[in-house]
Amino acid sequence: MKLPPLSATLLPWYEKNKRPLPWRDSRDPYRIWVSEIMLQQTQVKTVIPYYHRWLDAFPDIASLAKAPLSKVLKLWEGLGYYRRANNLHETAKVIVENHNGRFPSDPAMVYSLPGIGKYTGGAILSIAFGKSAPILDGNVARILSRIFALDDPVDTPKGLKKLWKLAALLLPEKNPGDFNQSMMELGATLCLPQEPACLICPVSELCKAHETGKEQDCPRKSGKTKIKKVRAACAVVSRDGRVLITQRPASGLWAHLWEFPTFRIAEKEDAGSFLTKQLLTAGLNAQKITLKTSLRRAYTDHVENLEIYGCELSPERSKTLSVPDAPFSGQWVKPRELKRFAFSSAHAKIIREYL
Ligand code: SF4
């Protein structure tokens, strides 16, 4: 396959049109790492204030490594995909312990760090260290699929292998970091999923999908990913001016975050009876359970309908949460004290709107 001279066209365009983002033009691997992790699945305008707050609190790897996890999670609150914050914290500790606090520049070492995959590793290596490391995210996959009018679905191993190969072949020897950033910028500003701005695109003359009018057909997807629907019930339990919160386990989704007790329930389950039983096993006698509202949470492979129930306890004193067999443990906290704890976005919304 003859490769189009992409970098010769894209680099001057990027130099002239790049958005002035706070992490742009930095060669500090720590800053690039933090920005790339924050930008995963998250829009630039959402990330910017988090990025500034993060760097004020943790200006370098050492300060992040020695911070308590509760502070790290509190700063991340609202940004979603909390595993990213846990990984940043864990990896900072590994870098302090194994690399004297300096971000490694050796590709094998970078790719072996926890939470750093091929994409993030490629971004850090190319932008911070000028190494010839390709990147491939949704934006770059879309651009390459269109420029080469690829038939292979981008969500299959075969399609991904081809795209990684192309991303590596197109990488110029000089300025690989700027080239990678120019691809990200093109995908974020012009080569958009729904309405690509081909008329003002700097590479339109090199783009096969544009030439053949197939922009909307690329990238192709196998359509094999089926999004499941699931249900969850959340109990907002109050007693004596305090509300019950529980902490998530140390691993898995929303590790270490706090929430109102929440349970996955079956499609036809009666949520009121289910929550009554759950609360009873923790020594809490619910007298009245009322549906307040429901929220929709979307994940990569499923959509969750989170039903929020207000739970009134029976006037005869319910026991404290110290029952050995209780399905969860928790704390009774005054509403004004809740800001000391880190919650996922859905639970932060419950606090804002119902407490
Ligand atoms: S010409 Fe259109 S489809 Fe092709 S890369 Fe540019 S914006 Fe994307």
Whose C-alpha lies nearest to ligand 1, atom 4? 207
- What is the pLDDT, as a whole number, of residue 224? 67
One-character DSSP codes across 327-344: S--EEEE-GGGGGGS-B-
CB 266 within 8 A of CB 273: no
Q: How far apart are CA 229 and CA 143, in angstroms?
A: 31
Whose C-alpha lies nearest to ligand 1, atom 8? 191
pLDDT at 325 over 60: no
312 is known as an active-site residue: no
- The ligand 1 site (C-beta within 6 Å) comprises 143, 146-147, 190-191, 196-198, 201, 203-204, 207, 209-210, 215
137 Cα–ligand 1 center, Å: 16
pLDDT at 313 over 50: yes
- What is the pLDDT, as a whole number, of residue 323? 39
- What is the pLDDT, as a whole number, of residue 319? 52
- What is the pLDDT, as a whole number, of residue 317? 55
- What is the pLDDT, as a whole number, of residue 322? 47
135 Cα–ligand 1 center, Å: 18
The pick from 6, 14, 17, 146 for probing ligand 1's pocket by mutation, whose C-beta has the most ligand atoms within 8 angstroms, reads 146
The pick from 203, 206, 217 for probing ligand 1's pocket by mutation, whose C-beta has the most ligand atoms within 8 angstroms, reads 203
- What is the pLDDT, as a whole number, of residue 327? 54
pLDDT at 324 over 90: no
Whose C-alpha lies nearest to ligand 1, atom 3? 215
Q: How far apart are CA 169 and CA 221, in angstroms?
A: 23
Whose C-alpha lies nearest to ligand 1, atom 2? 198
For tokens 């190319």, name the residue. 126
139 Cα–ligand 1 center, Å: 12
pLDDT at 16 over 70: yes
Residue 12: pLDDT band (50, 70, 90) is very high
**pTM of the prediction?**
0.79
Residue 280: pLDDT band (50, 70, 90) is confident
pLDDT at 273 over 80: yes
pLDDT tens digits, one per residue of 338-351: 999 999 889 999 99
The pick from 148, 204, 216 for probing ligand 1's pocket by mutation, whose C-beta has the most ligand atoms within 8 angstroms, reads 204
For tokens 């407490």, name the residue. 355
- What is the pLDDT, as a whole number, of residue 329? 66
pLDDT at 46 over 90: yes
203 Cα–ligand 1 center, Å: 7
Least confident of 153-157, 280-284, 328-332: 328-332
3 state SS of 184:
helix
The pick from 150, 182, 183, 210 for probing ligand 1's pocket by mutation, whose C-beta has the most ligand atoms within 8 angstroms, reads 210
206 Cα–ligand 1 center, Å: 9
CB 41 within 8 A of CB 80: yes
Cis peptide before 157 (omega within 30 of 0): no
158 Cα–ligand 1 center, Å: 23
Q: Which atom of ligand 1 is nearest to the CA of 204?
A: 1
Residue 205 DSSP label: G
Catalytic residue among 36, 77, 185, 304: 36
Least confident of 1-10, 74-83, 210-219, 315-324: 315-324
Residue 328: pLDDT band (50, 70, 90) is low
Q: Which atom of ligand 1 is nearest to the CA of 202?
A: 6
Q: Which atom of ligand 1 is nearest to the CA of 143?
A: 5
141 Cα–ligand 1 center, Å: 12
pLDDT at 33 over 60: yes
Higher pLDDT, 185 or 81: 185
Contacts of 163 (CB under 8 A, 6+ apart): 136, 140, 141, 144, 145, 150, 154
Q: What is the overall mean pLDDT for the chain? A: 90
